[in-house]
């Protein structure tokens, strides 16, 4: 699934490309410009997009259908089965064209929107006395010294909950300006173990490496 995230990039609009400016919430380190800013009254709502149900998230979106090339042989393009979802609060757009079923494309586009929100929307991190949220603990390997036994087994990129943990991890990495070693210390991991976690998902790797490159750091490989 991790590599599939890169494959669907060719089906998304310009708004979903890796060059989309990050959406930064108040007090978050500004590592990309220009950025979309939020007032303090909307920051709390913006930080919870991924906690919304599908219906609640769709209520914040505009959806349109269109014809697009894709699988299906002689039957393709006969109906407007491709789906584009635009998230009004952030301007992030995700779409799916692979299936002949509009219903399946809608579900796929919504999943992609959640991933893009995790990658693009940053939340403020207070590094003083930092305590990782449970969503982040769930994606950490068992060797983490701060990961309690009650957290459960590690979840990977194929788990729908991974996006929540990925967003929290990126929030922390952005707060320490891309330093993997500093992030690893805060998460009770070795630098190597954290690097392997980042490299396990292509979209996560690309996002972290873009930040590190902007800071004059070497990309993870």
Query: Could you please report the per-residue DSSP string of 99-137?
Result: -S-HHHHHHHHHHHHHHHHHHHEE-----TT----HHHH
On whether residue 71 sits in a domain, the answer given is: no
Q: Which domain holds residue 138?
A: 129-221
On whether residue 118 sits in a domain, the answer given is: no
Q: Indicate the pLDDT class of residue 34, thresholds 50, 70 and 90.
A: very low
Number of compact structural domains in the chain:
1
On whether residue 173 sits in a domain, the answer given is: yes
Q: Indicate the pLDDT class of residue 47, thresholds 50, 70 and 90.
A: low
On whether residue 52 sits in a domain, the answer given is: no
Q: What rounded mean pLDDT belongs to the chain?
A: 81
Q: Which residue did the predictor score with more confidence, 19 or 208?
A: 208
On whether residue 91 sits in a domain, the answer given is: no
On whether residue 174 sits in a domain, the answer given is: yes
On whether residue 182 sits in a domain, the answer given is: yes
pLDDT at 48: 86
On whether residue 17 sits in a domain, the answer given is: no
With a cut of 50, say whether residue 66 has pLDDT above it.
yes
Closest C-alpha among 120, 143, 119, 123 to residue 133 = 123
Per-residue CA distances from 218 to 28, 30, 189, 211 (Å): 23, 20, 20, 10
pLDDT at 182: 98
Helices marked H in the chain:
2-7, 40-46, 54-58, 102-120, 134-139, 162-175, 180-186, 191-199, 202-214
Query: 18 φ, ψ to 5°?
Result: -65, -10
Question: What percentage of the chain carries pLDDT values higher than 90?
Answer: 65
Q: What is the token pair recorded at 149?
A: 């036994």
Most confident among 43-57, 97-111, 123-137, 194-208 (mean pLDDT): 194-208
Half-sphere exposure of 187 (CA within 13 A, CB side): 34
Using DSSP, state whether 66 is helix, strand or coil: strand
With a cut of 60, say whether residue 7 has pLDDT above it.
no
The mean per-residue pLDDT over the stretch 34-59 comes to: 69
With a cut of 50, say whether residue 180 has pLDDT above it.
yes
With a cut of 60, say whether residue 79 has pLDDT above it.
yes
pLDDT at 194: 98
């Amino acid at each position: 699934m991790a590599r599939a995230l890169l494959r669907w990039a060719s089906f998304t609009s310009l708004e979903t490309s890796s060059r989309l400016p990050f959406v930064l919430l108040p007090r978050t380190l500004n590592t990309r410009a220009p950025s979309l800013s939020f007032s303090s009254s909307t920051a709390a709502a913006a930080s919870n997009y991924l906690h919304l149900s599908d219906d609640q998230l769709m209520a914040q979106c505009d959806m349109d259908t269109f014809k697009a090339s894709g699988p299906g042989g002689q039957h393709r393009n006969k109906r407007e089965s491709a789906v584009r979802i635009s998230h009004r609060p952030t301007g992030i757009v995700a779409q799916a064209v692979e299936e002949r079923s509009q219903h399946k494309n809608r579900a796929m586009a919504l999943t992609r929107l959640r991933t893009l929100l995790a990658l693009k929307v940053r939340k403020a991190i207070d590094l003083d006395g930092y305590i990782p949220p449970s969503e982040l603990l769930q994606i950490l390997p068992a060797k983490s010294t701060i990961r309690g036994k009650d957290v459960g087994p590690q979840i990977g990129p194929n788990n729908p909950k991974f996006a929540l943990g990925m967003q929290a991890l990126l929030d922390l990495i952005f707060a320490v300006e891309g330093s993997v070693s500093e992030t690893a210390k805060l998460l009770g991991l070795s630098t190597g173990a954290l690097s392997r976690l980042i490299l396990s998902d292509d979209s996560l790797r690309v996002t972290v490496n873009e930040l590190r490159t902007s800071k004059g750091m070497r990309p993870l490989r």
